[in-house]
Structure 1
């Protein structure tokens, strides 16, 4: 118990700062992914031939090693949080883009035609019919993306971005298990909490009728 207390006395403030940096990088990358991928997916449902090319390109990006992506952006954004956020943003695109595209594409065509018959504009159909009905599939992509990103954010420490990765990599370099655990345990806890919060959010934004279908 004394060793644990001593560890927090020595590293407690640094651990809090690193946790905040980790969350900042993660949230910035995830927000950019949602802002770009959701509208792009809706646009791609209107041009399915282009959709295959774009989603294929996003799939290729996903296969590029994360450290290579980080290295590519260092000359452009410099070492630090900027390069890490942009690299993680690219990794966030595929699951959100693919799931949103699938969810919107699979909306019942009869419902869309009903919207047209009611005089809805294209934007109104997207906002009131297509996106609400696509929410469960879209949020599944966001949740998967979020859990991956919170782990990948560890690599931001390699480019001077900070975060809990600094504890993990310092522990590996110094052969200190306490530093490794100080980084790894909060990352795991954050991943579980974020998945839980997004699960609750998914339930809140899912139309009531769809929620009732799931429970019956």
Structure 2
């Protein structure tokens, strides 16, 4: 089957979505989406600037000044980002192929079991999951990564399945009727049309990872959660608030990057 055939199938689906959409053409919506995306980084930049100005003028104790020093703060931020990125890569590498496999007829019967296990990972209290894994695997970076993967896999897994199952069955049948194999239909029809839903799940998982990574401090995983934990332990409000604000800004920045990727990777016309 030639590439032109798959492009025709995708074009038919895109035209149908455009016709059904009350918002006008895909091109105009894409331009409007870029304008909307411009707001969030400005808010993040303003927040970072406000924090820098406060840090340079605030009267801090020795402990606060050390924890909020440029070198220490940068190292904590990089550690937090490392936990998030490594966990996200593993989640995508595991959950997306697994979600695709569970939509195939041969493995569809295993869906309740796999989704049930994934639900257990997210339904369990996050701090309990972290501590439980730490007593089994030991403390440190990689135990934190395992806990984050278990905790955040469900959105990607479920969205992958929903995205593929939501593809119009008539398009799948048309592809098979034109002689495409099941693998070709998956690669050229189902996956391109499921991309927006899959990416939405990935963005949700990223934001979830940034917030949950603050718990890494309890099992020696590092990150910005150290500021929050130290602030609570020593009753230092400056550290507590600084940690919470920085995690929130980082979550907004990561969410924006996810939205940009989602916008760029979305097939034309969707």
Q: TM-score normalised to the size of structure 1?
A: 0.90
Judging by fraction of residues, say which structure has more helix.
1
CA shift, 1:171, in A, is 0.6
Residues 9, 79 of structure 1: CA spacing in aligned structure 2 closer, same or farther, 3 A cutoff? closer
Q: Which residue of 2 aligns with 1:213?
A: none
- Mean CA deviation greater in 50-59 or 146-155: 50-59
Structure number with higher relative contact order (C-alpha < 8 Å, ≥ 6 residues apart): 2
Q: Distance in 2 between matches of 1:205 and 1:3?
A: 43
Contact 2:103–2:165 (Cα < 8 Å) also in 1: yes
Are positions 1:12 and 2:70 aligned together? yes
Matched, 1:94 2:154: yes
Greater mean alpha carbon deviation, residues 110-119 or residues 39-48: 110-119
Distance 1:166 1:9 in 2: 9
Tell me the CA shift for residue 28 of structure 1: 1.0
Secondary structure of the 1:190 match is helix
**Structure 2 runs not aligned, ≥5 long:** 1-55
| Equivalent runs, 1:38-57 vs 2, <5 Å | 38-46=96-104, 47-57=107-117
Rg larger in structure: 2
Gap regions ≥5 residues in structure 1: 211-216
Indicate conservation of the 8 Å contact 2:118/2:153, yes or no.
yes
Shift of 1:69: 1.4
TM-score, L = length of structure 2:
0.73
Q: Evaluate the alpha carbon distance shift between residue 191 and residue 4 of structure 1 in structure 2; reply closer, same or farther with a 3 A threshold.
A: farther
Between the two proteins, the alignment pairs up a number of residues equal to 210
CA RMSD across the alignment: 1.9
| 1:10 to 1:21, Cα distance in 2 relative to 1, 3 A | closer
Separation (CA, whole Å) in 2 of partners of 1:102 and 1:8: 48
The equivalent of 1:202 in structure 2 is: 262
For 1:214, the equivalent position in structure 2 comes to none
